[in-house]
Every structure is written in C-alpha cells, then in structure tokens.
Structure 1
Amino acid sequence: MLPRFETIARHRPVAIVGVPCVSEEYDAGAGPRSGSAATPLLAPYAAIEVALPPDARTTTLALTGTDGSALGVSLTEGAVGLSVAVGGSSTAHRSRRHGRVGTPPARLALTLTGTHLAALTLENGAWVVRGRVDLRGIVDTRDGTWLAGLTSSWTGEVRAWSAGGFGQLGLRDIRLVSHADGSPYRDEGGVLFTATSAGPGFFDTGHTSVWQLADSGLTHRADLFFQRPDRPGAFGDHATHLVRDGEQWLVATSTWADFPADKAERRDATVQITVAESTGDLLRGQHLLATRSLEVPTDGPSVGVWDPHLVRTETGEWLVGYVSARKFFDFHPVLASGPSLDDLTLRGAATDRRATEGTTIVRIGDDWRVLASDGRDNSRATRGRFPVFDLDLREIGTLEAPYPTNIPWPTVIAPDEYRPDDGWSLVTFDGTPAGGRLAGYGTHGDVVVMRASR
C-alpha cells in the first residue's frame, strides 16, 4: 500500500492576466490618459488589469470587437459598473449589493470567462468581484472571428496596465500529466499537472491549464481550450487528463464549460468526455484542440460523465476511470477497459457512493489500483476520505492522508527513479474560495502538496 502522507506546502497562484499580450508601466503623473492594443484570442478567456493612483476619479476598461461590439467596466468615485454595446444598442449594469467599494482599490480589472463579463477590484490585497453579466444570447463570445479581432483599451489615470488571456483565481481538479503507462511525465526538474483555472463564478467560468511543480514552487506553463464535435466555437472545458502516448498527446477532458449555474436550467444539461490528439507542444503556450467524443459505458441511467483518467497497461489494455452521475449531483466512480479507447466495456462501478469523484488509476508495485475522493455528502461510513479500490472497484483500503475541504482528488506521484532520496508525494486542492460573495462557488482552491511521512 501507499505510505502515510503529511502536508508540506500550500500554493495559491492568483493572476487576473495570466498570459499578457501587452504590459506597460508609467511614471506617476506623466502617463497617458488612454491606451489600447490588439489582443487576439483563441478562446473567450480575456482580462484587462490596471494599477490605479489613490486619487483616480473615473477609469474605464473595454474589450472591443471588429463588429463594433464593446464590453466595458468602469470605476467612478467608488461605483463599479459594467456596459455591453452590440448592434447599435447598449445596456448598463451594476450590482446593488456589491457594486460599490468601501476604500479606493489598488487595481481595477475586466475579465471575460466563457460567456461572463466581470468587474473586479483589488482591495486590501485581495480581488473582489463587483459585478458580472452573462452575455449568452447577446454576444457570441465563442466565435473564432470575433475572438481574433479583439482589442483591449483603457481611459483615465493609471500607473500600469496589462491585457491578454485570463489567468485564475484558484486551481482545482488537479491531475498528473503522465505517460500512457501511468508514470509521471517529468520536465525540467519537476512534475507537470493539469488543473482547472477557476474563473470569477461557477464551473462555466473555468478552463484547463498546465503547471509545473518543482522545489521552487508552481509555474504556469500552458492553457488548453477545446472545440466540440457537436457544436461550433471555442470552449474552456476542464477536469482534464494530459497523456503522452508515443509521439503524440492524448487530451481527455470534461465538457463543463457551458454547464449552467442556474439549477432551473439543468433539466436538459449533461456533461460528456471528449478526447483530442495532438503532436504540438502542449506544455507551452495556448492551444485550441479539436476533439471527438469518448464513448464510455455506464452502470445504469446517467445524466453525465466526467473526470477522465487514461492508462494503458503492459498488456496493451486501456483502463479508463471516470465518474457517472445518476442526477446532478449524485455521482460515483466507474472503471472501463478495452483494447482501444473506441472499444470500452464496463469493468466496475462503486454504486454505493453519491458524492465520490477524482477517479485515478495508479500502479503500486505489481498491482493496478483505483483511487478516488469520498466527498462529505456521502454516507457516514464513506465520507471525507480517499478510498483505494481494485480494478473491479471493490474497496480494499484508504489512503492515510489529510482530507482537505471540498472533494480533493488523490493525485499521487511515484518516486523519481533518478533521485534516490525521492519518495511518494500527493498533490491535491481544497475548497478555499476567492473573489468575494458575488463570485460564489467555483473559485476554489488552494493547491495542497503532501509528502510521504518519515
């Protein structure tokens, strides 16, 4: 079995502008009153951020398209507003409860995450969402032509500004980047993992990112976006596994990018698994990947499947772990196997769970095991723990490790064979939120690093 783990570090790499297209600083009192730059994007994940002087009166940020559409955020004497102009008409928006700051903020930001326009202010060292507008049915933010023609701009008094791709308020759904045999894919002295970069709201504001974990900490490496096989546009699908298979990458992900936050809209909602193949360098930069559906079996009626994890055994058999939901949200781990990813049959299902996810396949010695995370909405006997299953999904033990808040995934990392002093480690996340009350659920979490206890 695996060793006992203890927490050794926590990280929270918050960044509004994750990938800058432009970044400028100005001398106090000598800077211009406006600025703009072309900021073409692959997907609707954009940000503009400005540093404000203490006496700033009115500052406006805008993201404009070649079709004349304009998405704006403004700060005027403590009041934060948003504006949307398209097709010759415009609307103004302001949150009654959250649209005013108590003290002058140090920074102001505009973000576009999926279909959501948001205004954020940096107050006492923390970002706070002060307003948000859903652009569905107003602007087709997923359209490639619109994205390629975007310009970022600002007016007012600023000390610095940057614009480009949106970063993250938190990280969750942490999954080790691996070779097809399940072993860690190591690069430049560290391990790599994919994560969901949390946006300023629910699941539909997140996207997939790639990170490196080394002794020096976390480093952002790449962002992955996806095209769906059944509809046009660019999506920030997430809960992703990145697998090196020979000379190509396999990218299995979950179609969370348009899952509705409003419970009333979930009657016809579903989440599916897609897979992409690429020979590009997905460990650096930004990428938009064409996908196909990964058809996986379920143990009964299912409204959705997610959290894919792929491993090919020494016999050439594929093992695919994932989650299946009877309804939103009542879900449990499932394992399928087959000679190829297009020919999978059901191997096992832990049907006694109702809030267990993060299905992870790992080799321990000569045996294959399946790990998962039992959320606190399970029964008392299966709550707040990391179960260990055999390949028929019969529980045979549990990981001895601290169990953070939310439903943290058990991403264990085998020792590096080239480092004699290396041991097992575990990287996961928790439910620590960010962004204030308006952002709500979905902005978690901290990255929690554990090592084998000595």
Structure 2
Amino acid sequence: MDLGTTSPLTTTPALDRRTMFKAAGITGLAVAATPAAEAFAAPSAPNPNLDPFDLSFEVVRRQRPVDLVAKGFVQLRDRFERDHEPYERLSPTGSRGTIEFGPRRLRVSGTSPFFALFRSQTRQRAPYAAVVVDVAARGTGQGTVMSGLVKDADDYVVAWYDGAAGTVGIDVSVGGTVQTLGTVQADLQRPFRLGFGLTSTTVVALVDDGSGFRPLVKGNLNGILDLRRPALLAQYRNGFGARAASGAVVLDGVVAGYFGQLGLRDPHLVTRADGTPYIKDNLAYLTFTQAGLGFFETAHWGVWTMDVRTFELKQVANLFFQRDGNNTVLGDHAGHIVLDEANDRWIIANSTWGDFTGESVQVNYLTLPKRRSPLRGVHVLRTRKLPLPTTQLPSAAVGQWDPHLVRIRRRWYVGFVNARAFFNFYPALARSRPGDDFTDLRLVGADDAKVETEGPVLQKFGERWYVMASNGDASPAAIKGQYPVYDLTMKQVGRLDAPHPTNIPWPMVIPVPLRNRRTRWLMVTFNGTQLNEDLLGYGTHGDLIVMRAERDTRGHQFPPMRG
C-alpha cells in the first residue's frame, strides 16, 4: 500500500551570473558521488582565509516527499489475511451485520441495515494521525466506508464515503451526537482508497482513485473535540467502519500511523555544541518542519537523515511538545537540536507555532540527558521559554522564532528572529558571558532595518563565524531575494551567492568533510510551493532544494565525527 511519493521533481534553476558564464561547460548538476566518509585520513585544518563569499552555490536536487502515513511510523497494517488483529467490534445502531475476515478481505454484510466500527489496539501519542482503508471492487456500491479514530460506539471522528449518495464527508460523534463537518460530491469508482488525516485540530478527508491522494473535505474540531489533550487522545484508537441498508461492503486492507507531511521546510542541521555537523556514515541529521493539512499550527517537527552523496531522505524521529503549565500536545517546530557533550546533554530549542493564533510566538527549549537521544522514535517533550534579551532591542517585539545555538570560545551564541509585528521581522544575535549557559544571554546586535528577514544560521568558514539569513518577498526591491551575511557583531558584510527560491528560504549551509582532506559545501533550503491551497489554505509548502558549492575547499572545516 503506497501512501506517498519521494521522487525528485524536475526543476530549472534560475541562471545566475556564474551559471551564465559557465553554461557552455556545465554538465554536473546531477548528483555527484561524494567520497565515502569511512576511511578518513587525519583531519586537516581548513584554509584560514576562507569566507562565505569564496563559494557559489548551484541547485543539484529538488524533491518533495509527500506521505499521508509517515514511512517508518506505521502503527497498524492489516491485509485481512485472517482474523488476527484484535479489533473491538462496535455498532452505533446496535446492528453490526455479518463480519467475515480473509482471505485478503474484510466483508461486512446484511439483509437489513447495519453499521460496524472496528477499533484497533493501536494509537498515536499526538494528534497527528492518518488512517487509510482500501475499498475493494467487490461488494455493493451503495454502502458507506469510514476511516478515522474510534473511542467507542458513541465517540469517533471519521472520514467517510457514501456510495449511494456519491458524497465524501467528515463526521464527529461525541456522546452519540453526530456532527457533520462538511461534505462534497465525489463519484468514485471502486477500488479506491479513503484517507483520514488529523493534524492538531484540523481534519481532512482524502481519496485516491488511482492518481494519488487528493483532499476533498476539510473540517476543524475546535469547540467539539480537543484531541490535543493527552488523556482524551489516549482513549481513541485507529479504526474504520462500514454501513449499508443491505448487501455487502468489502475492504482489502487498512494502514494507520502518524501523519507524514505534504512538504518540508525550515531545514536545520543537527550539530554538536561547537558547530560540528552531525554527520554519521554519510548521513546528515536535520530537523524539518513537516507541513500539515493547513496553516502553521497543523505542521509538526521531525528528524530526518539526508545522504550527503545521493540526497536520499528518511524520517527517523517525530517530535511533539507540551509547554510548562499546559498539557496540550502541540506540533511546535522551526528550531535547532544541539548535542552538548561537555555537559552530557541534548539542547532542543524551537518556535511555538503549534497553536499560532496571530498573537505571539516565542522560542522555547528543553535539555535531555545525552542517553535520551531525540534523533530516533517518537517523543513528546516538555519545554519552557528561553529568556532572550528582547527588551534591549530597538523596537517592540510581538514574537521571536528560528533559534540557532553554537558555543564559540566558551560563549553561547543564539541567533533568532525578532518580530515587531506579524509579519514584520528581522534577525538578531545574543550571547552569554564566558562560561555561562545559553539561558543567560545579552544582546549582541540586530539588523532592524530589515522587514522580512528570517532563518538565521550561524556557520564557520575558515577561522571566522558568520550569521546568514534570508530576505523575503516583502523586502525592498534592492535586497529582495538575497541572503545577507553578518559578522558576529551583526554588521552585514556581504551576501551569499546562491539561488533564492520563493518564500523565505533558510540558508542551511552544511560543510561535509571528505576523506581526501577537503570539504564539500552543501546548502539545504526550501521554497513556497503549496499543495491543494484552494482547499487547505496557506501552509502546505514546500519543495526541498539541495545546492552544492561549485568547488570543494582545502582541509576539513570541521573534523569528521567519531563515535
């Protein structure tokens, strides 16, 4: 049961000046093999005079993983070979019909009206779920099939298709009272797949009748059922159902698990405290904001690996959050994970977009013992506010986001975005005193002349550290579409030479140590391409874009990671 695509999308990068000069000779924009990372020679010091302006980046890959159920995070997969899944069989009407499992089908039938719900033993720990049923070609075309989350016969939330009426919809039943959140006409030919997607409070019904999933109905659970509350969500299980006036409804399979993503954005390399890229066995570990089924609050955060040779992506962790004083489980995102080995801990900092209402956003953080790695599995983590020195900034702020942390010569530096209004924002930099922790910060500086500049990334080139950001579409024409580069006093010293996709792409530069004592420079970013914006609205971007510098540089910018 294929629930998504990960194939690269074709793209034609805009010609920059270097591309124009080299057009006759460029043939290497396909993936080039990176020397294997295993058999490194002794680390070699980088060119001390290297700076960001010595590099020119070109697009080498554009791809968009789209998954309704996240690969690697499937909780239930059943092809109905036999009655081996311990489903609880429920009926809101008291008549379940005749239920027959196998071979490779589930048949629910009756000569009079029936309504059967099947509640599995599987569930998700966060309100980011997807359930898909395969509707067989066999059986009556007049029945109704359902997929979603089930608590009991009186409490469920499901997407459904009614073959008799030719409609797709979403129902929520609370205490036996059913509310229909929306319907749409859809003349589907069996076989097809019916999908249910939940991201935070947003529910979507999707269908796939041979050309991939497309969303048809969108609803919201606000004021009806808050599955962000852990105690309530724990009562719901992945489920599905069938009903008809008579005849038989036949299903070929079901799969359920954590919701995947419609796009990836806000790429951030996992690093050690000194900025060393977390790259093991040719796999760079990055966090991404995984686009949900609507605006920012429907997205969530995940950890992915990217092969630095082939750029193949694989999700390895799902991260969800609760905040001090609030047990609601949210999909906060847009942040940075740091392995601080000197203090035997992980530092996780992100932005509180998970319940965004347009009022405020802040940077939150937590620390974990090193033994509790956040880079694998599913985690629900509790955060608190990171005290940033915003009172020292020259303009009133309504929010901060996009943190990046690095320790440079016994001082913690934290880059972040400061917003004077939504959405009018600029990059800022804070640092600690020598020996103090990252929670005790003082303002270094900010570029408050900017009006739409975010995604600050700290990166070392040669012997010097720089802050890089991105000027969005609302920036003045003279600087729109540029990546400004600052020194550690937040004085702009130039701009990065790289294509600038739409939206506000983060300049996530990754120095990859090669075994020939050289460094390959990659850059991972994203664009603003939406999926199904007419129904889902803004927030489903973007395409993931990988760039590579036109040349490798001498020495290792950071030594290869060991252990």
TM-score, normalised on structure 1?
Answer: 0.92
Find out whether 1:120 has 2:214 as its counterpart.
no
The match for 2:264 is 171
1:129 to 201, 215, 233: 215
1:348 to 425, 435, 445: 445
Q: Is the 8 A contact 1:311 1:319 kept in 2?
A: yes
Q: Deviations over 1:165-194 (max 9, x none)?
A: 111111111111111111201123210100
CA apart distance, 1:30: 4.8
1:32 to 67, 91, 106: 106
How do residues 224-243 of structure 1 correspond to structure 2 at under 5 angstroms? 224-243=319-338
Shift in CA distance, 122/353, structure 1 to aligned 2, threshold 3 Å: farther
Residues of 2 paired with 1:438 and 1:29: CA distance? 38
Residues of 2 paired with 1:163 and 1:398: CA distance? 46
Q: Please, what is the CA RMSD of the aligned residues?
A: 2.1
* Aligned residue identity for 2:133: V
Find out whether 1:223 has 2:318 as its counterpart.
yes
Find out whether 1:9 has 2:61 as its counterpart.
yes
Q: Give SS of 1:443's match.
A: coil
CA apart distance, 1:130: 1.4
How do residues 378-417 of structure 1 correspond to structure 2 at under 5 angstroms? 378-417=475-514
The match for 2:425 is 331
Q: Is the 8 A contact 2:414 2:431 kept in 1?
A: yes
Q: Is the 8 A contact 1:387 1:399 kept in 2?
A: yes
Residues of 2 paired with 1:120 and 1:448: CA distance? 27
Residues of 2 paired with 1:383 and 1:145: CA distance? 47
Shift in CA distance, 106/399, structure 1 to aligned 2, threshold 3 Å: farther
1:150 to 236, 239, 243: 236
Residues of 2 paired with 1:254 and 1:352: CA distance? 23
CA apart distance, 1:436: 4.8
Residues of 2 paired with 1:101 and 1:213: CA distance? 39
Identity of aligned residues (%): 39
Q: Is the 8 A contact 1:353 1:382 kept in 2?
A: no
Shift in CA distance, 54/6, structure 1 to aligned 2, threshold 3 Å: farther
The match for 2:168 is 80
Q: Look at both structures and tell me which one has the larger radius of gyration over its CA atoms.
A: 2
Find out whether 1:42 has 2:125 as its counterpart.
yes
Q: Is the 8 A contact 1:127 1:434 kept in 2?
A: no
Residues of 1 paired with 2:285 and 2:211: CA distance? 29
Find out whether 1:305 has 2:400 as its counterpart.
yes
The match for 2:383 is 291
Q: Give SS of 1:414's match.
A: strand
Q: Is the 8 A contact 1:129 1:436 kept in 2?
A: no
Q: Give SS of 2:146's match.
A: strand
Q: Give SS of 2:520's match.
A: coil
CA apart distance, 1:68: 4.9
Q: Deviations over 1:349-396 (max 9, x none)?
A: 111111111011111111110000110110012211111111222211
Q: Give SS of 1:146's match.
A: helix
Residues of 1 paired with 2:376 and 2:290: CA distance? 16
Q: Is the 8 A contact 1:129 1:200 kept in 2?
A: no
Shift in CA distance, 331/232, structure 1 to aligned 2, threshold 3 Å: same
CA apart distance, 1:257: 0.6
Deviation larger for 374-383 or 411-420: 411-420
Q: Give SS of 2:232's match.
A: helix
How do residues 56-75 of structure 1 correspond to structure 2 at under 5 angstroms? 58-65=144-151, 68-75=154-161
* Aligned residue identity for 1:415: V
* Aligned residue identity for 2:254: W
Deviation larger for 383-392 or 22-31: 22-31
The match for 1:278 is 368
* Aligned residue identity for 2:62: R
Q: Which runs of 5+ in 2 are unaligned?
A: 1-50, 82-101, 109-117, 243-249, 552-563
The match for 1:100 is 185
Shift in CA distance, 111/395, structure 1 to aligned 2, threshold 3 Å: same
Q: Is the 8 A contact 2:147 2:160 kept in 1?
A: yes
* Aligned residue identity for 1:302: A
1:319 to 405, 413, 424: 413
The match for 1:263 is none
Q: Deviations over 1:14-37 (max 9, x none)?
A: 111111111123589850037542
Q: Deviations over 1:239-283 (max 9, x none)?
A: 0211111132111010001113xxxxx3xx110111011131211
Q: Deviations over 1:292-323 (max 9, x none)?
A: 2101122121111100111111x210110111
CA apart distance, 1:134: 1.6
Residues of 2 paired with 1:294 and 1:344: CA distance? 10
Q: Is the 8 A contact 2:75 2:122 kept in 1?
A: yes
Q: Deviations over 1:78-122 (max 9, x none)?
A: 421001111342211225xxx233654842211111111211123
CA apart distance, 1:432: 1.6
Residues of 2 paired with 1:343 and 1:238: CA distance? 23
Q: Is the 8 A contact 2:182 2:219 kept in 1?
A: no
Deviation larger for 408-417 or 20-29: 20-29
Residues of 2 paired with 1:102 and 1:334: CA distance? 53
Shift in CA distance, 393/103, structure 1 to aligned 2, threshold 3 Å: farther
2:294 to 201, 220, 227: 201
Q: Give SS of 2:478's match.
A: helix
Q: Is the 8 A contact 2:296 2:539 kept in 1?
A: yes
The match for 2:254 is 161
* Aligned residue identity for 2:410: G
Deviation larger for 236-245 or 114-123: 114-123
Residues of 2 paired with 1:305 and 1:373: CA distance? 16
Deviation larger for 244-253 or 68-77: 68-77
Residues of 1 paired with 2:171 and 2:226: CA distance? 16
Residues of 2 paired with 1:9 and 1:203: CA distance? 26
* Aligned residue identity for 1:237: D
How many pairs does the alignment contain? Answer: 443
Deviation larger for 188-197 or 412-421: 412-421
TM-score, normalised on structure 2?
Answer: 0.75
How do residues 183-194 of structure 1 correspond to structure 2 at under 5 angstroms? 183-194=276-287
Residues of 2 paired with 1:419 and 1:213: CA distance? 21
Residues of 1 paired with 2:482 and 2:337: CA distance? 25
Structure 1 stretches (4+) deviating beyond 6 angstroms? none
Shift in CA distance, 146/73, structure 1 to aligned 2, threshold 3 Å: same
